[in-house]
Amino acid sequence: MYWTLELASKLEDAPWPAAKDELIDYAIRSGAPLEVIENLQEIEDEDEIYESIEDIWPDYPSKDDFFFNEDEY
């Protein structure tokens, strides 16, 4: 399983919190790339509820990881 920013961004609007099956269903319905669906299928915890993409990919960058001044935009 590998994640990139582009792949993980396909799940930003997913119905969080969600179970593995719900995320797979969302990815299919939203037209996410096959790699996203394959990554979700590789998750081992069948019954776990995920609160956000960070629960699936802990290295997912947050807004704090980007250095820009939001007041300027």
Q: Comparing C-alpha atoms, which of 64, 2, 67 is closest to residue 33?
A: 2
pLDDT of residue 38: 96
The reply to whether 70 falls in a domain is: no
Question: What are the pLDDT digits (tens) for 12-69?
Answer: 899 999 999 999 999 999 999 999 999 999 998 878 999 999 899 888 776 555 555 6
User: Is residue 12 domain-resident?
Assistant: yes
36 lies in some domain:
yes
How many folded domains does the chain comprise? 1
Instruction: Look up the domain containing 18 and give its range.
Output: 5-58
DSSP-assigned letters across all residues of 26-50: HHHHTT--HHHHHHHHT---SSPEE
Residue 72 lies in a domain: no
Q: Is residue 43 part of a domain?
A: yes
Specify if 25 maps to a domain: yes
Average pLDDT over every residue of 6-14: 91
Residue 68: inside a domain: no
Please tell me the pTM assigned to this model.
0.80
